[in-house]
Chains A and B, each alone.
Chain A
């Protein structure tokens, strides 16, 4: 069993739809990162959270430490949101080593 599992692996939606990407992990963590990667590009950190909920613009991330589950939501999705979204739990805050999920490939159709 993978340490980090994301669902769905692929998601295609119409512009404006509400998007949810889920992440379950089995490792003990200090914090969990949500990352965005465009094709051929580097990785952008969207959120780092260790409890509760964080919001940045149209993006919302939640985490339930007890259930070892996190979700990333995108409201009013836009074609520019098309990318791979990666969940990455980290251990040992301060000298974190991230374990990456398989990623969710999101495509938003105009």
Chain B
């Protein structure tokens, strides 16, 4: 049973460019959350998707947007990249089913903005 899959694993972009990161949730999970982890810091919540809608959002600018598809996979888009956007981006999937609850993280996408 595959866990959470993120792609790509590493990415280098130039300041001002746009980037799309992808996440496939664990089988049976319908909720996808995205986190940003800067070097040496703890992860910060970006937003969460459920039923193809953004359900809650952290303190991130509108340059950060996302999408969830009918198969529950999700994308994180970042526009007008800044050097400070360099970080490890983590995707986590979950389900509200208490009988089978699990909050599972992917290995992350390391984004470097130069």
Contacts and interface: CB of A to CB of B under 8 A. Distances in A.
The B interface, classified by DSSP as helix, strand, loop or mixed, is strand
Contacts of B31: 94-95
Interface residues of B, number: 27
B50 to A, nearest CB: 6
B86 to A, nearest CB: 14
Given A42-B105, A48-B101, A90-B103, A96 B58 contact: no
Nearest to A100: B42
A96 B42 contact: no
A43 interface: yes
Interface string B72-114: 0000000000000000001010111010011111111010000
Interface string A76-110: 00000000001000101111111111110000000
23 contacts: A41-B107, A42-B90, A42-B105, A42-B108, A43-B105, A43-B108, A44-B105, A45-B103, A90-B103, A93-B96, A94-B31, A94-B96, A95-B31, A95-B50, A95-B56, A95-B96, A96-B103, A97-B45, A97-B56, A97-B58, A98-B35, A98-B43, A101-B42
Across the A-B interface, the 9 shortest Cβ-Cβ residue pairs: A94-B96, A42-B107, A100-B42, A43-B105, A42-B108, A100-B43, A97-B45, A42-B105, A95-B55
Interface of A: 33, 35, 40-45, 48, 86, 90, 92-103
